[in-house]
């Protein structure tokens, strides 16, 4: 720490030097990132609530009410307005929260089970490896088919009596592929397994592409077996980074 503070000009001069080393989405030179430039209205709105802390919702009732409206709007976009969830820091946190909910539900129903696992496609985001590590779960990876979507037969073979959750992807990180969620849902309903859909990327793309006339497969709460969905407003939603979303079909105590 310095003995004497610096002036505002000195601070921002140094921050500018750091910033010049960053690439920008507006440059058109970023190919591998799925995030978007925040809309100016979103930036101003973000600044208004910088000191709001939903860890204490009783103190920030307006922010809590706003979050509830946003969750309902995202749910409506994904086929069911009457859902529950939170706006959080991004897809990684959302996926961890979903797997934690699935694990806790499984442990409640199977209190004696110790070697709990989750089954994910090999195309799944690295956040599921984090989730499995943090929550002490075995991670089983299903093979992909010739179209780089999860192979249903491989998925079926990996699911067992210790499986707490199956993950499907709607918009894979590398290729934007959409797993056959309707078939996976049928499998999960038959086996009594929690189904989470990681639509961090596709959640803000697929519904609008379908509105434009593209025939992309269903992936959301219109499919009965889907229990939770990750959707990131900072990916194609023009929200400031970091803005993630996790939606649950049911509110479990």
CB atoms within 10 A of CB 65: 11
Separation CA 239–CA 35 (nearest Å):
9
Residue 31: per-residue pLDDT: 77
Q: Is 53 a domain residue?
A: no
Q: Is 52 a domain residue?
A: no
The CATH number of residue 99's host domain is 3.40.640.10
Domain total in the chain: 1
Q: Is 29 a domain residue?
A: no
Half-sphere exposure for 173 (CA within 13 Å, toward CB)? 11
Q: Is 165 a domain residue?
A: yes
Q: Is 253 a domain residue?
A: no
**Where in the sequence is the domain holding 180, given as residue range(s)?**
40-45+58-248
Q: Is 9 a domain residue?
A: no
For 190-223, the pLDDT digits (tens) are 999 999 999 999 999 999 999 999 999 999 999 9
Q: Is 32 a domain residue?
A: no
**Residue 179 pLDDT grade (very low, low, confident, very high; cuts 50, 70, 90):** very high
For 71-102, the pLDDT digits (tens) are 999 999 999 999 999 999 999 999 999 999 99
Q: Is 90 a domain residue?
A: yes
Burial string for 161-200 (b: 16+ CB within 10 Å, else e) reads ebbbbbbbbbbbbeeebbbbbbbbbebbeeeebbbbbbbb
For 23-44, the pLDDT digits (tens) are 988 888 887 778 888 999 999 9
């Amino acid at each position: 720490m310095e003995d004497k503070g610096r002036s505002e000009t000195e601070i921002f001069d140094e921050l500018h030097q750091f910033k010049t080393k960053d690439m920008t989405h507006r440059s058109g030179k970023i190919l591998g990132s799925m995030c978007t430039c925040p809309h100016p209205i979103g930036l101003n709105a973000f600044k208004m609530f910088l000191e709001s802390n939903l860890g204490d919702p009783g103190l920030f009732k307006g922010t809590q009410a706003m979050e509830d409206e946003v969750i309902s709007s995202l749910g409506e976009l994904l086929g069911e307005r009457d859902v529950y969830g939170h706006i959080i820091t991004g897809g990684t946190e959302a996926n961890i929260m979903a797997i934690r909910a699935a694990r806790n539900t499984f442990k409640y129903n199977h209190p004696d089970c110790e070697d709990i696992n989750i089954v994910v496609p090999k195309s799944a985001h690295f956040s599921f490896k984090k989730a499995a590590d943090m929550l002490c779960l075995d991670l089983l990876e299903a093979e992909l088919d010739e179209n780089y979507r999860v192979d249903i037969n491989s998925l079926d073979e990996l699911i067992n009596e210790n499986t707490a959750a199956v993950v499907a992807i709607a918009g894979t990180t590398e290729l934007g592929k959409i797993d056959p969620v309707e078939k996976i849902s049928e499998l999960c309903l038959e086996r009594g397994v929690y189904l989470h859909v990681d639509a961090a990327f596709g959640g803000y793309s697929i519904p609008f592409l379908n509105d434009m006339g593209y025939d992309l497969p269903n992936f959301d709460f219109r499919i009965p077996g889907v229990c939770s969905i990750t959707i990131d407003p900072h990916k194609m939603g023009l929200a400031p980074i970091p803005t993630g979303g996790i939606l649950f079909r049911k509110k479990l105590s």
